[in-house]
């Protein structure tokens, strides 16, 4: 389900724009214009948006990063903007022209952004194009294409940077929004995974005996361990939110901002680092 775009007041928008240089403000005008024209499936507009952002990568940022400000103004997450950047970096002028000519067999519909985003992590250019050409010739939907890509390309090869430290917003507003967005997403996902009728357990129970696989055992054990580690991570997030709220209330009550207090020594929470990165990347 596409993320609902967030709206902001004109005062908030102006406050963000004031943090940008003149050149960045001019670039922002171009980007907001492109975003207003973009419809689902319009690959060229998405590609142009990414190319404009690429030109800003080396710009000096003051305050919040340029990408974070653009994300707030156009109403989508920074992660999505980085995917558009990746798109522009993966496909040159000649390739985007060829991509726009691809039509899916049967329906005649073009490939969509939801198709292209699946192949962006693939380093090998020929492999990316083989998959896209096959999707067009077979008339695959984006959902079917995602399944096919996952079957052909192992996850560790599709995501060569797996395990790197996720980018975290610098400002308090950005950190709060980032955590809220991810917690909302993970709450919805977890509810589906644990649902009595369509969750994991329900699916395993309904699976015919002849289709059960021994290999699932190790994966299910791993999921249980990661979920247990995630519980510890979430407790830390809760504790940080509660303590931050206490410090905020105290500072406002005293009438002056105070520095963060030294946290009390607590037993470290055992958590798989990959769970942390997966949750906030």
How far out from the chain centre does Cα 51 lie? Answer: 19
Based on the domain organization, do 200 and 260 belong to the same domain? yes
With respect to residue 138, please indicate whether it lies within any of the assigned structural domains.
Answer: yes
Based on the domain organization, do 35 and 69 belong to the same domain? yes
With respect to residue 211, please indicate whether it lies within any of the assigned structural domains.
Answer: no
Q: Give the number of domains in the chain.
A: 3
Domain boundary among 68, 94, 120: 94
What φ, ψ does residue 110 adopt, rounded to 5°? -75, 165
Q: How far is it, in rounded angstroms, from Cα 11 to Cα 33?
A: 20
Based on the domain organization, do 272 and 176 belong to the same domain? yes
Based on the domain organization, do 119 and 72 belong to the same domain? no
What tens-digit pLDDT sequence spans the chain (281 residues)? 444 455 667 677 777 877 777 788 777 777 776 665 554 457 888 998 898 888 776 554 444 578 888 888 888 888 888 899 999 999 998 999 899 888 888 888 888 899 999 999 888 899 899 999 999 999 998 889 988 888 877 654 554 444 445 667 777 877 887 788 778 877 888 888 888 888 889 888 888 888 888 888 888 888 888 888 888 888 888 989 999 988 888 888 887 545 555 555 544 444 444 444 444 44
With respect to residue 132, please indicate whether it lies within any of the assigned structural domains.
Answer: yes
Q: Is the pTM of this model over 0.85?
A: no
Based on the domain organization, do 141 and 107 belong to the same domain? yes
With respect to residue 212, please indicate whether it lies within any of the assigned structural domains.
Answer: no
HSE (side-chain half, CA atoms, 13 Å) at 116: 26
Based on the domain organization, do 110 and 202 belong to the same domain? no
178, 275 Cβ separation under 8 angstroms: no
How far out from the chain centre does Cα 121 lie? Answer: 13
Based on the domain organization, do 180 and 225 belong to the same domain? yes
The DSSP call for residue 121 is T
CA 104 to each of CA 84, 94, 110, 142, 162: distance values in angstroms, whole numbers, following the listed order? 22, 20, 6, 11, 31
Instruction: Measure CA of the first residue to CA of the last residue in the chain; give whole Å.
Output: 18
Overall size of the chain counted in residues: 281
Based on the domain organization, do 274 and 199 belong to the same domain? yes
Based on the domain organization, do 186 and 110 belong to the same domain? no
Based on the domain organization, do 124 and 86 belong to the same domain? no
Provide the residue range defining the domain that includes 228: 172-206+217-280
With respect to residue 167, please indicate whether it lies within any of the assigned structural domains.
Answer: no
Q: Which residues contact 90 (CB under 8 A, 6 or more apart)?
A: 120, 128
Q: Among candidates 255, 177, 127, which has minimal Cα distance to 3?
A: 177
């Amino acid at each position: 389900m596409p993320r609902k775009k967030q709206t902001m007041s004109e005062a908030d928008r102006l406050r963000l724009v004031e943090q940008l240089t003149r050149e960045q403000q001019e670039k922002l005008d171009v980007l907001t214009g492109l975003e207003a024209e973009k419809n689902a499936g319009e690959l060229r507009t998405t590609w142009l948006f990414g190319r404009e952002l690429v030109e800003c990568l080396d710009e000096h940022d003051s305050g919040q990063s340029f990408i974070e400000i653009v994300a707030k103004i156009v109403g989508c997450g920074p992660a999505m903007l980085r995917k558009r950047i990746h798109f522009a970096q993966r496909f040159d002028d000649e390739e985007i022209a060829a991509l726009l000519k691809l039509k899916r067999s049967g329906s005649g519909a073009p490939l969509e952004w939801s198709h292209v985003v699946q192949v962006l992590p693939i380093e090998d250019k020929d492999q990316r194009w083989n998959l896209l050409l096959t999707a067009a010739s077979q008339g695959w939907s984006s959902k079917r294409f995602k399944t096919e890509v996952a079957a052909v390309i192992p996850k560790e090869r599709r995501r060569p940077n797996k395990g790197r430290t996720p980018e975290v917003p610098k400002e308090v507003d950005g950190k709060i929004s980032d955590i809220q967005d991810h917690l909302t997403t993970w709450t919805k996902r977890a509810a589906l995974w644990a649902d009595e009728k369509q969750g994991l357990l329900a699916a395993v129970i309904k699976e015919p005996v002849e289709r059960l696989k021994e290999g699932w055992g190790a994966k299910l054990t791993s999921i249980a361990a990661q979920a247990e580690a995630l519980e510890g991570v979430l407790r830390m997030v809760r504790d940080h939110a509660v303590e931050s709220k206490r410090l905020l209330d105290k500072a406002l009550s005293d009438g002056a901002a105070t520095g963060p207090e030294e946290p009390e020594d607590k037993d470290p929470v055992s958590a798989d680092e990959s769970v942390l990165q997966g949750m906030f990347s």
